Amino acid sequence: MDETNDLLRAALQRLDEVHARTAALVKGQAELTERISGLEKGQAELATRITALEKGQAELATRISALEKGQAELRIDLFAFRSETKERLDQLEKRFDYFLDKLARLDEAVWHLKHA
């Protein structure tokens, strides 16, 4: 009977060891599950941030496109302004030459009147 009791005690001790290992494994599994949950949450947050970054990138591309379009329009306006300004300067130059010519004639007429 002592032998049976020893065997039973050994079996119970072994059962306690298996139970302790099982409890440790269950605890480890729970910790891993918690970590995985945290990683999944982090992954979802990263996906949200990436989506926001992609949206921001698209908005920047739209703004850059608008700026490039505006720049092209400004270049066209500047070219038109230069052309118009050149025309105006040419007209002013012609008027100035015309008035210089008139002034020269008046100066000549005054000279003739003084020396006549």
Dist CA 4 CA 115 (whole Å): 159
User: Mean of the pLDDT values across residues 68-94?
Assistant: 96
Higher pLDDT, 1 or 30: 30
Dist CA 106 CA 116 (whole Å): 15
Higher pLDDT, 36 or 1: 36
Structure tokens at 28: 């480890």
Percent of the chain residues past pLDDT 70, beyond the cut = 100
pTM metric for this prediction: 0.53
Dist CA 31 CA 37 (whole Å): 10
User: Position 26: which residue type?
Assistant: V
**Is the pLDDT assigned to residue 66 strictly greater than 90?**
yes
pLDDT digits (tens, 9 = 90+) for 92-102: 999 999 999 99
